């Protein structure tokens, strides 16, 4: 079975701005994300993003806006020879409807585990909020909690 590095997006991969990040001009990678991802690849991890994107349900931005930002993210990483295995996102918001995919729900994680034959206990979820930690715990994935916008070079030894 494979092992995966599950990554929250806002605050882990890109800078948390305190508002929805759905425009390329607002998207900035966090410090140390490139060496962190390269170390994960060297250790045999699949790279999977799991992100709540409730702004879609709230009408703040569209799926097309989100896809443009994700294409931009992929291009930034590809320039460093880093390729994501997949991106899973939840477009729902708890103020609009309930779902099983919005973290702390585990559906995004369960879908990734099933799709890629992932061993949850050998994997790692990196997040910056209690809902990330709870989702990882509920899915049986060890979880590393970091401060939002942390320099991920400090956490390479956790891989």
Provide the number of structural domains found in the chain. Answer: 1
- Assess whether the previous peptide bond of 76 is cis (omega < 30° from 0): no
Write out the residue range of the structural domain in which residue 46 sits.
Answer: 3-158
Does residue 30 contact residue 152 with C-beta atoms inside 8 Å? yes
What pLDDT, in 10s, does the model give residues 102-117? 999 999 999 999 999 9
Give the pLDDT of residue 99. 93
pLDDT at 96 over 90: no
Tell which residue, 156, 159, 136, 157, has the closest CA to residue 34.
156
pTM: 0.96
Exposure string (b/e) for 21-43, b if CB count within 10 Å is 16 or more? bbeeeebebbebbbebbebbbee
CA torsion through residues 135, 69, 84, 19, sign: negative
The CATH number that applies at residue 104 is 3.40.50.1000
């Amino acid at each position: 079975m494979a092992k995966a590095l599950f990554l929250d997006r806002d605050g882990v991969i890109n800078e948390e701005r305190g508002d929805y990040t759905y425009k390329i001009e607002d998207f900035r990678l966090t410090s140390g994300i490139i060496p962190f991802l390269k170390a994960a690849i060297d250790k045999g991890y699949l790279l999977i993003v799991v992100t709540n994107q409730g702004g879609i349900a709230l009408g703040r931005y569209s799926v097309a806006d989100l896809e443009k930002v994700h294409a931009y993210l992929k291009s930034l990483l590809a320039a460093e020879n880093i390729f994501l295995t997949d991106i899973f996102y939840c477009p729902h918001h708890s103020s609009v409807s309930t779902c099983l995919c919005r973290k702390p729900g585990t559906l995004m994680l369960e879908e990734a585990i099933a799709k890629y034959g992932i061993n949850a206990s050998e994997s790692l979820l990196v997040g910056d909020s209690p809902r990330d930690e709870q989702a990882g715990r509920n899915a049986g994935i060890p979880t590393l909690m970091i401060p939002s916008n942390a320099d991920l070079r400090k956490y390479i030894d956790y891989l």
